[in-house]
Amino acid sequence: MKQHPFLGTLLGLGVFCAGVAQARPIDELDTLHRTALNHETKQQLHQLGYERASRDGHGSNRTEYWLSHRNGTCAALELHDGIIKTITRAKSRRCESESYQDHEPYEARTSHAEGSHDAAVVAKNQMTRYCAGEAAGRFSTSPRSVSTLPLEQSHGKYFVYGQYESRGNIKTFTCTFSQEGRFVALVGTS
C-alpha cells in the first residue's frame, strides 16, 4: 500500500497515533498523574491558577475540565476510579461552555462532603475561591461567570454566598464551612 507523502511526514513527526492526533501534555500538571482527585489535588490546581470549569460523566469515571486563569489553558483530567489517568490540553470551548449537564434536580444539589469529618481544611482566605470553584463544577458553568460575596461568619460556621448566570437567569448558591474550615455543603438557593 502506497503511503501519502504528507501523511508519512506527519507520522515521522509523531503527530498521529492510531489515526488520532496526539493530545499535548501540560507540563505544569505532570505531578498530578496517577493521584486521586481529592481536596489536596484541587488545592494544588487552584494554586497553579486553575478553576474547575465543567465535567463529562458522573462518579469516579469522568473527565473534568479545568481552566487556567494565568495562561488560558483548558486542561482535561480523565479519571478512572477517582484517579487521574491522563491530563491533556482540551479545546477552550470545553472550559467555556456548559458541556456537562447534571440531571439531579437543582434544589437537591449538595456537596458529597456534607457531614464528612474527613474533608480537608480550607484556609479562611481561600474559602471564597474554593466555593467558586465548587460552584462552577457543580452547576456546569464557567468559573468566570461565578461571583461571590466576602466570607461571613455566623453561629460557629463560615458562609460564602454567590451567584452565576444560567440561560439568562441568575442562580444563587451558598457554601458552608465548619468552624475548623472543613467544606460542609454547597446548596443552590434559587
Encode pLDDT of 33-74 as tens digits. Answer: 888 888 888 888 888 888 888 888 777 788 988 888 777 888
Q: Which of 39, 129, 42, 113 is nearest to 77 (CA)?
A: 42
Q: Tens digits of per-residue pLDDT, 15-35?
A: 333 333 445 668 888 888 888
- C-alpha distances (whole Å) from 38 to each of 32, 60, 114, 119, 143 are 11, 11, 15, 9, 19
* Dist. CA 188–CA 105, nearest whole Å: 10
Contact indicator for 66, 75 with CB cutoff of 8 Å = yes
Structural domains in the chain plus CATH codes:
23-99 (no CATH), 101-190 (3.10.450)
pLDDT for res 72: 81
pLDDT greater than 60 at residue 147: yes
**C-alpha cell read off for 68:** 487556567
* Dist. CA 107–CA 138, nearest whole Å: 12
Q: How confident is the prediction for the chain on average, in pLDDT?
A: 75
pLDDT for res 172: 92
